[in-house]
Structure 1
Amino acid sequence: MEALIVVIVAVVVIALATAIAPKLGIAGPLILVLVGGAVSLLPFVEVPEIDPEWILVGVLPPLLYSAAVALPAIEFRRDFGPIAGLSFLLVIVSSVVLGLFFMAVIPGIHPAIAVALGAILSPTDAVATSIVKRLGVSRRVVTMLEGESLLNDATALVLLRTMIASVAVATSVGGDTRVGVGFLPAFAWGVIVAVAVGALVGYLNLRLRALVRNSAANTAIGFVVPFIAYIPTEELGGSGLVAAVVAGIVTGQGAARWFTPEQRRSDEHNWRTVELMLEGAVFLVMGLELNEIVTQNVENHNGLGTGIGIAAGALAILIMARAAYVSILVWLQSRRARGRQRRRLEAMSERIDLLASGDLSASGVALGLGVARGPGDAHSPGVTLGPGVAPPGRGARGGAAASRSRRRREAPDVDSPRVQRRLAAMRTRISRSLSDLDYYQASPLGWKHGAIIVWAGMRGVVTLAAAQTLPRDDTTDRALLVFIAFAVAVGSLMLQGFTLPWLVRLLRLEQPGDDGLERAEQSALDDELRDAAVSALSSPLLRRRDGTAFAPELVAHVGSRMVDPPDDAESLPTRDLLELRLAMIEAMRARLNELSSGGGYSTPALRHALAELDADQLSLELRLDDED
């Protein structure tokens, strides 16, 4: 009964903290840490010891899965390089540098444990994303922070597990202190297995839930997906967290095509609630455990000065390493989206159009759909060309290849389905690359954005959970190491979390014009969908859900109203009209799926349009049920 009361109180506290946080201008997790710390000081409160496995296995997989499902896929793809660098390279570098620091300031610490503690402190937390979103910073910065916090957890935990395993091996073979032996093979295996299992689980999740129409059963299946991805991956020696992330990405990207509107809306609300409760619980527990950790360090290390000093040094190293890396990243990103790249892509697009029209002599494109490059030309980023005309001077084999290419150019079958498919694929890639360039030009990364990315690198849930996994028997001064991790997490949350809004105001990064740009983008997308609906009305394939055709006069009536909308809100709530509107929504959703792969619209705009279509469909289906 007492445990039940504690759970009820915790849920209420998390909900209230989340509700009042925007009014106070403070992130909800920061409030929960303060509340937990205050409660832990009460003399009659006894905080039970919580097994860290409950957090690593029971909390992190669904948390990361939930974030992966909601990941903005288009923007994530465009900035995958910088995100991967922040999530992998920066974590590795930070862990090693911190490991050297801990070996210098903590006498007798095992080198592998030093690097493991560095891995614990290296991953950033998603709490920064919620703060940055509220401050109106560029969506590109938000996406990079989201992607980093999603992927760097897995990197840090794989490194942590490898270091702890090396300590166990060193102990069993007589004290070998070499660090990281076999790390790269272990890391590669962990990622490969995780990606394979996660992708398979995500695909099976889409197919199975598409067949299960009962909403309650469907929701139940959705809740266990991250654990289904996590458990077998861990048994195979992979990273279960990476598998949960991959399963979430596959599910999120396939939901528009495989799930019903009811499933999508239900998943959105359910996972948002799960994420709120789990993340809030971890931060609340963090505050509750502070008192005990502080007491242990006071007893064993004659006060908190040692731990606080080491934690302050570690946090300073983390910020400096992050600042150095982000400076290089921003400089590299500033070199993107140059006009020269755009000219090359546009020239390639013109050549493909000439080939499609049959003007092969002017197009410079062979039947193999490669591009005959002139002097100074180069492949453009993001476009993979097929085999075609080899440029002059490529070696002895160039003559025969050039002869075959000339024969192909003389008599190509441009109208063949294979060539048309290749042309369409190349057009799509070029269009996507041009959209990417537009994105980079519209959302450039400058030093101010870099400053926000640096200062938003707070530590949180993963650091707290991972610190508890340090082995109790093989770790000297474990209480000190755990306190350092807690101090770094709390210090970064308090220091950076409270000052981040001030930094954004100081740099004047708020973008009040974004609303107008979003409305213009949404209006253009609405026009695309409206055109798709009008085209569907003239298609002979338009059918009811039972496969029967619509009456021509009904189609003509609705078509005239769409081309020339009436001033009044006249509607005909007949079953045939409702069925026709559902068929038009399906046509618009199909067009929306096509646009999703083109890169011309942002993920928020596409998801907003999908949500509107889903809401309309659910309303129409409810009215159809009333008609029955």
Structure 2
Amino acid sequence: MHTALLLVGIVVTVLVGTSLSERLRLPAPMVLIVLGVIGSFLPFVPVIELGPELVLVGLLPPLLYSSALQTSIIDIKANLTSVILLSVTAVVVTTFTVGWTLHALVPDIPWPVALALGAAVAPPDAVSASAVARRIGLPRQIVTVLEGESLLNDATALVSLRTAIAAITGAVAVGSISLDFLIAAGGGILLGLAVAAVVNLLRRRIHDPLIDTGLSFVVPFLAYLAAEEIHASGVISVVVAGLLIGHKAPVVQTSGSRITERVTWSTVAFLLEHAVFLLIGMQVVSIITGLDGTVPWSRVVLACAGVLAAVILTRMAWVLLTQWLRGLRQAPQEREPWSHAIITGWAGMRGVVTIAAVFIIPADVPHHDLLVLCALVVVLGTLYLQGLSLPWLTRALGVRPNDPAVDALARATLLQQASEAGLHELDRCDHHEDHGVAESIRARLDQRAPSRPGSGCPPAPGRSPRRRPTPGCG
């Protein structure tokens, strides 16, 4: 009964907090974190710890799978260099930079422990980036890079964290690190491919939307647990499976199944994404009160501020440096605007993966409570500092979303090409005893395509604004 009441309370709070954020014109994650902090002071609210099992097994697979389903493989391929530079190399660089900073500020913390914290705070969060990007309307290329990076960088960070934890108890050879990374990445990719192939094969034989949607709830957990069982990356397995299943959905799924699955997963992702930020806020009090007091507060504040600054500045410097180096090999008309690079560098909000990863670090390492507090400061600092200032920075740099007119024109062109292909195929078919179906199809295509002769649509330039457009005309 208590668990049921707790779940109901979380859902109600998420719905109220989201509605409140719309009235206040603030991103929902910021409002929900504040509500979580307030809730942690209430005596009747139980303590909920975001342990690694809850986040990495219960929350992360469905969140990553939902994001992967909506992500275009074609768009990621077009921006593959940027995605790899941010999801792999930027995470490694941030890990070492944060580790060096923390060890310099608190010399009592050993190098492997400092690097473990660096790996925990290195990956930006897919949920945070998507939530802010969708709200302020960033260009499609930036959103694609941020979402693609956030889908893949968790694997790099978790492999780095696993290596750092192994180094806490003993020496780790370079060859062992490389082998672990290859096993984690390669095994995750292969298992993701296998899961996607099996699911796509089954979906060709499933025509019930409810059964099809029910199958989709099994996929993220199956892909994650199977990969972790062989010490591969469950994150990569879930992402690969989600990308391929989403890419093949129009071919292997019925239209009813696609609509049902999309609506269902949108609802599930909405509740999970916002519940995560509420739970992060509920951790604040317990983390602050858990400090053992062995480190002076002045040093604690300095360490937290130093780690936060290292996280933000390292990403910004890395994005600008790679932009400059890539620009040296590109023609002027092919270079990405510097304003896009600045926005990409500043949109590095951290989230639930950072909180979960820091709890993977053994509790008996020196100053474990300080590590947890630093991770919390990074999450809150990036969410509030970068998340709240990103809309202002976007306006100041003149970065605008894609022109809706251009998107509409591209969509109309695509529909026109599809209509032409359909009519060409229709002409090749035998129309004996088709009961007028072919003519009906041609008439409907003529109504939907204003540029086709005989469509009955008035010319666009001469259309009077007071005249109601002909049905089917754009």
Residues 144-223 of structure 1: pairs in structure 2 closer than 5 A? 144-168=145-169, 170=170, 176=171, 182-223=176-217
Residue of structure 2 equivalent to 1:346: none
- Matches of 1:306 and 1:79 in 2, distance apart? 42
Question: Aligned-pair distance for 1:223?
Answer: 0.2
Instruction: Give me the whole-angstrom Cα distance separating, in 1, the residues matched to 2:294 and 2:40.
Output: 21
Give the TM-score normalised by structure 1. 0.68
Cα–Cα, structure 1 residues 259 and 104, in superposed 2: closer, same or farther, change >3 Å?
Answer: same
Q: What displacement does 1:279 show?
A: 2.1
**Distance verdict in 2 for CA 1:562–1:215, change over 3 Å:** closer
The 5-angstrom pairing of residues 478-493 of structure 1 reads 478-493=368-383
Q: What secondary structure is seen at the aligned counterpart in 2 of 1:108?
A: coil
Q: Distance in 2 between matches of 1:557 and 1:219?
A: 33
Q: Which has the higher mean CA deviation after the structures are superposed, 299-308 or 113-122?
A: 299-308
Distance (whole Å) between structure 2 residues aligned to residue 494 and residue 121 of structure 1:
16
Q: By how many angstroms is 1:559 displaced?
A: 3.2
In structure 2, how many angstroms separate the alpha carbons of the residues matched to 1:16 and 1:519?
35
Residues 200-248 of structure 1, C-alpha deviations (whole Å, 9 max, x = no match) = 1011111112212222222221101011111121111111111011110
Structure 2 vs 1, CA of residues 304 and 219 (structure 1 numbering), >3 Å: closer, same or farther? farther
2:315 is equivalent to residue 325 of structure 1: no
Please list the CA deviations of residues 303-336 of structure 1 after superposition, one character each: whole Å capped at 9, or x if unmatched. Answer: 7543332121112112222122111232245467
Residue type matched to 1:296 in 2?
G
Shift of 1:455: 1.0
Pick the aligned partner of 1:226 from 220, 224, 229: 220
Query: Contact 1:279/1:461 (CA < 8 Å) preserved in 2?
Result: no
1:289 aligns with 2:283: yes
1:466 to 333, 342, 357: 357
Q: Between the two proteins, what is the percent identity of the paired residues?
A: 34
Give 1:108-507 correspondences, 5 Å limit.
108-126=108-126, 127-168=128-169, 170=170, 176=171, 182-297=176-291, 299-301=292-294, 304-334=297-327, 338=331, 445-473=336-364, 475-507=365-397
Shift of 1:295: 0.9
Residue in structure 2 matched with residue 559 of structure 1 by the alignment: 442
Counterpart of 2:69 in structure 1 is: 69
How far 1:488 moved relative to its partner? 0.9
> Is the 1:163–1:180 Cα contact (8 Å) retained in structure 2?
no
> Quick check: 46-55 or 498-507, which moved more?
46-55
CA RMSD of aligned residues (A): 2.3
> What SS does the aligned partner of 2:361 have?
coil
- Measured in 2, the distance between the counterparts of 1:120 and 1:50 equals 14
Output one character per residue of 1:337-379: Cα deviation in whole Å (capped at 9) or x when no partner. Answer: 749xxxxxxxxxxxxxxxxxxxxxxxxxxxxxxxxxxxxxxxx
Letter in 2 for 1:65: Y
Whether contact under 8 Å (1:124, 1:457) holds in the other structure is yes
User: Hey, what's the Cα distance between the residues in 2 that align with 1:480 and 1:560?
Assistant: 70
C-alpha distance in structure 1 between counterparts of 2:343 and 2:129, whole Å: 10
Indicate yes or no: 2:407 matched with 1:518: yes
* SS of alignment partner, residue 124 of structure 1: coil
* Contact map agreement 1:333 1:445 (CA 8 A) in 2: no
Contact 2:102 2:306 in 1 (8 A): no
Distance in 1 between residues matched to 2:296 and 2:387, nearest whole Å: 27
Aligned AA (2:358) = A
Aligned equivalent of 1:19:
19
Distance in 1, Cα, partners of 2:77 & 2:207: 32
Give the drift of 1:533.
Answer: 2.5
| Secondary structure of the structure 1 residue equivalent to 2:350 | coil
**1:125-167: CA deviation from partner (whole Å, max 9, x where unpaired):** 1212332233232211111111111111111011111221333
The offset of 1:557, in angstroms, is 5.7
Asked if the contact 1:330/1:446 (under 8 Å) is kept, the reply is no
- The answer on whether the counterparts of 2:350 and 2:383 sit within 8 Å (CA) in structure 1 is yes
Larger Rg: 1
Describe the SS at the equivalent of 1:59.
helix
SS at match of 1:472: coil
- 1:583-613 superposed Cα distances (whole Å, 9 cap, x missing partner): xxxxxxxxxxxxxxxxxxxxxxxxxxxxxxx
Find the counterpart in structure 1 of residue 96 from structure 2.
96
One-letter amino acid matched to 2:438: V
Asked whether the 8 Å contact 2:210–2:257 carries over to 1, the reply is no
Q: Cα offset for 1:302?
A: 6.5
Q: Could you say which residue in structure 2 is the equivalent of 1:78?
A: 78
For 1:257 and 1:106, the matched residues in 2 are separated by 56
Structure 1 pair 554/91, CA: closer, same or farther in 2 (3 Å)? closer
2:210 and 2:260 in contact (8 A); partners too = no
How far the C-alpha of 1:24 sits from its partner, in A, is 2.3
Q: Which amino acid aligns with 1:130?
A: A
Higher relative contact order (CA 8 A, sep 6+): 2
Q: Does the CA-based 8 Å contact 2:193-2:241 persist in structure 1?
A: yes
State the Cα distance separating 1:500 from its structure 2 match.
Answer: 1.0
Q: Deviations over 1:562-581 (max 9, x none)?
A: 4565659xxxxxxxxxxxxx
Paired residue type of 1:320: L
Instruction: Tell me which amino acid in the other structure corresponds to 1:194.
Output: G
CA distance in 1, matches of 2:455, 2:226: 59
Q: Is the 8 A contact 1:112 1:179 kept in 2?
A: no
CA contact (8 A) 2:27 2:135 kept: no
CA shift digits 1:53-96 (9 cap, x unpaired): 11111111111111111112222111111111100001011101
Partner AA of 2:142 in structure 1:
V
The alpha-carbon deviation at position 551 of structure 1 amounts to 2.4
Letter in 2 for 1:322: R
Please state how far the C-alpha of 1:258 moved relative to its aligned partner: 0.6
Structure-2 change in CA distance of 1:180 and 1:66 (3 Å) = farther
Cα displacement (A) at 1:43: 4.2
Structure-2 separation of matches of 1:66 and 1:319: 27
Distance 1:476 1:525, change over 3 A: same
Corresponding letter in the other structure for 1:314: V
Counting matched residue pairs gives 450
Name the CA distance, whole Å, in 2 between partners of 1:105 and 1:137.
37
TM-score, with normalisation over the residues of structure 2? 0.89
Structure 2: gaps (5+ residues): 447-452, 458-474
